[in-house]
Each structure stands twice: as structure tokens, then as C-alpha cells.
Amino acid sequence: MTEPAADEPKTSTSPVASGSLAAAVPKARASIAQRALLLLRLMRPHQWLKNIFVFAGLLFAGQWSDPALVAKVLTAFAAFCAVSSAVYVLNDWIDRVHDAQHPSKMHRPLASGAVSPAAALALALALLLLGVALAWPMRWLLVFLLVYGLVNLAYSLHLKRVAVVDVSAIASGFLLRLLAGTVAVGIAPSRWMLLTGLFGALFLGFCKRRAEGFHPAANQRAVMADYPPALLDVFIAVSMAATLSTYALFATSDTALAQHGESLAYTVPVVVFAMLRYTWQVHRGLGEDVARDLLRDPWVLGSVVLWVVLFLSGHQ
């Protein structure tokens, strides 16, 4: 029997080594997937629901049969999704130390330490660049995104501590979305639609503050000291009345009748019901996360479906 040469390389066939290598591959893949999910959580994609305001102009102008216009609105929607997610990431980065002491916010990816501050900043920068790249061909969209970003930066740094100004800053974001879906893409906006959107955003903002008041005082944001529950109830009632008044004027206007027939007028009671139902939910402690809580109430969702059916009935 011949012996192998002394300088001949020997290959390891140890089952232990092979097993360790095989086990390491799926673990690495799982780790990458987990990090990706954490970054996705940090972006809060469920909040993209708010960006459907961008489609309002296209919907009410009845121009959804124009492919070029639809493409522009979809681009505006995608740009706002990217920039709004960047804003959420930056806000969590700024508040990460405070959030770590909060009973529910402590589980957020940044506050819990699951995502590093450096990785969060890199993600925010990438999202901002993506939003700018999408908006670059449309000058006004770029302007509205810039204003949106600056207002939200000011909100994160200071405005969220000033009563009424905080909610007004939030509401301005919805108005900018409406403008992005109209002025920025070449659709003439209705003044009643803009006012309805603004007042509706104020209503949702004050509802959010009212829901936050159900937390123990130690866990509430600083501005809540300036928001007694009775005062918030007044703000909610006033903003609801303003929203319903402007929407009713919009739905029954000559322009609406010409574009949608009488079907839009029949949606007014549906909107009244949905707002009353949501206010009831807020007084049960829900409504702090508007996008999440709207999707969880079957009656509100049913109202949305009924509104869509009535709206489409005028376009058959």
C-alpha cells in the first residue's frame, strides 16, 4: 500500500465542520431578513395610507382615464411615501432616548437598540434621495416635498411642544399631499376640496391628541399638559363641523353635480356617520395611530366601501 505524498493537501471530511457550515447559511439568511424587517418597521409602511390624499384631485376631477396623468399621480404618491418614511425614521432617531423610557415606544427598532442610529440615518438619507429623484421632473412636487420635509423637521425639533401649532403642522402635511396631487401634476384644485382636507386633517390630529390623553400622565408627551380633555373635545367638535360643512358644500356644488351627478351628494350622510363613529372610538382610547385604527374598525371600513360604491354609481 502506498502512502500519500507528504506535501499533498488533505481535505477535511469532518461531519461536525460540514454541519456547522450548513447551519450557518440559513442563520445568516435569517439575520439579513430580520434586519430588513426591522428597517421596514422603522419606515412605518402602514402610515402610507395617509398618502392616498394625493389621489383626491385625480378622483374628484374625474381624470383617471388619462394614463399620463395617472402615472404622474402615482409618482407623487411614491415620492411622498419615501419622504414621509424618511421623516418617521428621523423623528424616531431624534426621540430614541426618550422613546426608550416609554412603555410602548420602547419596542420601536431604534429605541430598543435593534437598529443602530447610524443605520437609521443611512436609511433616512436613502429614502430622501429616492423621494427627490422621483419628484425631480416635476418642479412643484419637489417644492411641496421640500416644504413637507422642513415642516416635519421643525415639528420634530420644536413645534410638537406647542399646543395647536403641533396639530396645525400635522394638518399642513395633508394639505401639501392634496396640492401634490393637483397643482404639481396639472390638475386645478377645488377650493372646497382643499378646505375639506385641511379641516379633516385637523379633526384627525385633535382626535390623536385626545386618544393620547388616556395614557398615564407620566407617559404622555409634554404638550398634553396644555390640552385639557374638555378643550380637545371643543377642538374636535369645531374641526368636525368645519369638515362636514365644507364637504357638504363641495358635494352639492354645481361643479360636483356636473362632474359626478347627484351621487356625491348622497355620500354626505356616510361621511357624517364615519366621523361620528371615529369620534366614539377616540373616546374609548383609540385613534392614537390614525392609519392603524381606521383599518381596524369594520364600521368605518364599511363606510369607506359604501362611499366608493355611491361615488362610482355616478360614473356608470
Closest-CA residue to 160 (of 220, 111, 217)? 220
Q: Both 287 and 238 in a single domain? A: yes
CATH code, domain carrying 68: 1.10.357.140
Between 153 and 105, name the one with better pLDDT. Answer: 153
Does residue 311 contact residue 271 with C-beta atoms inside 8 Å? no
Q: Both 167 and 199 in a single domain? A: no
Task: Show contacts of 266-273: CB within 8 Å, 24+ apart.
Answer: 266/310, 267/307, 267/310, 267/311, 268/244, 270/303, 270/306, 270/307, 270/310, 271/244, 271/247, 271/303, 271/307, 272/244, 273/303
Q: Both 179 and 57 in a single domain? A: yes
- Residue 21 belongs to a domain: no
Q: Both 162 and 214 in a single domain? A: no
Q: Both 127 and 51 in a single domain? A: yes
Q: How confident is the model at residue 97 (pLDDT cuts 50, 70, 90)?
A: confident
Please state the domain count of the chain. Answer: 2
Q: Both 275 and 230 in a single domain? A: yes
Q: How confident is the model at residue 213 (pLDDT cuts 50, 70, 90)?
A: confident
Give the C-alpha separation, 136 to 133, whole Å.
5
What length is written for the chain?
316
Give the C-alpha separation, 214 to 224, whole Å.
11
- Residue 177 belongs to a domain: yes
Between 182 and 258, name the one with better pLDDT. Answer: 182
- Residue 2 DSSP symbol: P
Q: Both 65 and 96 in a single domain? A: yes
Q: Both 100 and 208 in a single domain? A: no
Window from 33-37, 199-203, 227-231, 304-308 with minimum mean pLDDT: 33-37
- Residue 298 belongs to a domain: yes
Q: Both 84 and 177 in a single domain? A: yes
Window from 124-128, 132-136, 281-285 with minimum mean pLDDT: 281-285
Q: Both 118 and 169 in a single domain? A: yes
Range of the domain at 113: 43-189
Q: Both 151 and 221 in a single domain? A: no
Q: Both 169 and 282 in a single domain? A: no
pLDDT score at 94: 84
pLDDT one-digit tens code per residue, 236-246: 999 999 999 99
Label residue 260 exposed, middle or buried (CB < 10 Å: 0-12, 13-18, 19+). buried
